């Protein structure tokens, strides 16, 4: 729903690819809590990332290749056949609905692909739906048939599913991940989830994403920005003008990390007002159709 490493010798390396690191971006430079050194585009991470050295090993070896997210024209489509318009630099598309061939075509065209997945909710139509144990399934997600909130406190039960999704994201050729519904602490999920629980869950996902060479974004949850902006790589915020929370995402802009802002407005004057504010705040803004079918109005030409 979108309307809402034991590295060798104790070190892991993250290598940035692309023409240059945009505007001094610290992209993944923290790798969550580890001291870092950035030398000529190679990020050496000193010390363990998590308590278990085995869990801290980068997936597939001791070199992590991370491609920075461009702060550029953003396109979002989660329904139907995805056709990106000319000039698109970043596309956010469904992890399961887009195949590796399509992702490969985007990358060949210079487009940065991000895989969308719902991390904090269960969707009964997904191919991995049967893998969720009943103990993690909470209340129905209001307004979205077949969707339920998850008990994100049970990371050990969710880990195999989330890891498999991140593996699929990487295998298909995506370069980043957009994990939705991380803000269950703000609603009645059927569980006593706290903000600290949500932070713990997102930080764990960030470790797993970075180990796979994927960037990871913050989806909504503006009150967690101050805790996550230094650790995540970009942000996607929905309805920042409607709910007046755009300013919360300023730390991302200050760290030269892109903020992709989405509104679902209908009146032309409202769309123009949103786009003006998005540009003033340094966001890449789009006004999207509620169905997220690609019928977008772009703020940044």
In this structure, of 9-23, 145-159, 258-272, the range with the lowest mean pLDDT score is 9-23
Residue-level pLDDT at 85: 87
Average pLDDT over residues 190-210: 98
Q: Which helix (H) or strand (E) holds 203?
A: helix 195-211
User: Does the structure show a pLDDT above 50 at 203?
Assistant: yes
Residue-level pLDDT at 114: 98
Read off the pLDDT of residues 213-228 as tens digits, 9 standing for 90 and up. Answer: 999 999 999 999 999 9
User: Does the structure show a pLDDT above 50 at 105?
Assistant: yes
The DSSP bridge pattern shows strands 112-118 and 176-180 to be parallel
CA distance 16 to 151: 34
Structure tokens at 295: 């019928």
CA distance 231 to 89: 23
CA distance 274 to 255: 23
- The residue ranking higher by pLDDT, 143 or 5, is 143
Structure tokens at 288: 């999207």
List Cα–Cα distances, 27 to 57, 124, 145, 263, 273, in angstroms: 19, 34, 37, 26, 30
Residue-level pLDDT at 211: 96
Residue-level pLDDT at 254: 98
CA distance 186 to 45: 34
- The residue ranking higher by pLDDT, 28 or 105, is 105
The DSSP bridge pattern shows strands 215-219 and 234-238 to be parallel
Q: Dihedral of CA 85/89/94/100: which sign?
A: positive
Residue-level pLDDT at 11: 34
**What phi and psi, each to the nearest 5 degrees, are found at residue 227?**
-95, -20
Read off the pLDDT of residues 130-183 as tens digits, 9 standing for 90 and up. Answer: 999 999 999 999 999 999 999 999 999 999 999 999 999 999 999 999 999 999
Query: Is 159 in contact with 170 (CB distance < 8 Å)?
Result: no
What spatial distance separates the first Cα and last Cα of the chain, rounded to whole Å? 28
Residue-level pLDDT at 213: 97
CA distance 133 to 237: 30
List Cα–Cα distances, 299 to 47, 206, 271, 273, 277, in angstroms: 42, 29, 9, 10, 10
Q: Which helix (H) or strand (E) holds 281?
A: helix 268-281
**What phi and psi, each to the nearest 5 degrees, are found at residue 184?**
-60, -20
CA distance 123 to 107: 28
In this structure, of 10-19, 64-73, 83-92, the range with the lowest mean pLDDT score is 10-19
Residue-level pLDDT at 134: 98
CB atoms closer than 10 angstroms to residue 116:
25
Q: What is the pTM of this model?
A: 0.81
Confidence label for 295 from pLDDT (cuts 50, 70 and 90): confident
CA distance 53 to 57: 7
Q: Which helix (H) or strand (E) holds 242?
A: none
């Amino acid at each position: 729903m979108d309307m809402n490493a034991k590295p060798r010798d104790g070190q892991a390396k993250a290598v940035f690819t692309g023409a240059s690191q945009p505007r001094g971006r610290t992209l993944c430079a923290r790798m969550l809590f580890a001291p870092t050194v950035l030398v000529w585009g190679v990020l050496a991470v000193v010390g363990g990332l998590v308590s278990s050295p085995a869990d801290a090993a980068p997936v597939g070896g001791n070199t992590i290749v991370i491609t920075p997210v461009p702060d550029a024209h953003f396109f979002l489509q989660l329904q139907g056949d995805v056709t990106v318009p000319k000039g698109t630099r970043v596309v956010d598309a469904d992890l399961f609905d887009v195949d590796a061939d399509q992702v490969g075509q985007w990358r060949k065209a210079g487009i940065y692909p991000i895989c969308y997945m719902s991390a904090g909710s269960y969707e009964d139509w997904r191919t991995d739906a049967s893998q969720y144990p009943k103990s993690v399934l909470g209340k129905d997600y209001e307004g979205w048939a077949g969707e339920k909130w998850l008990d994100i406190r049970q990371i050990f039960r969710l880990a195999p599913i989330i890891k498999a999704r991140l593996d699929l994201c990487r295998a298909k050729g995506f370069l980043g991940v957009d994990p939705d519904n991380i803000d269950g602490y703000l609603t009645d999920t059927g569980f006593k989830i706290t903000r600290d629980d949500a932070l713990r869950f997102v930080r764990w996902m960030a470790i797993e994403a970075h180990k796979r060479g994927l960037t990871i974004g913050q989806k909504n949850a503006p009150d967690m920005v101050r805790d996550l902006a230094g650790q995540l790589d970009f942000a996607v915020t929905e309805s920042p003008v409607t709910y007046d929370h755009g300013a919360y995402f300023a730390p991302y802009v200050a760290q030269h990390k892109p903020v992709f802002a989405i509104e679902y407005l209908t009146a032309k004057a409202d769309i123009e007002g949103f786009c003006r504010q998005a540009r003033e705040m340094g966001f890449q803004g789009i006004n999207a159709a509620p169905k997220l079918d690609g019928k977008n109005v772009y703020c940044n030409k």
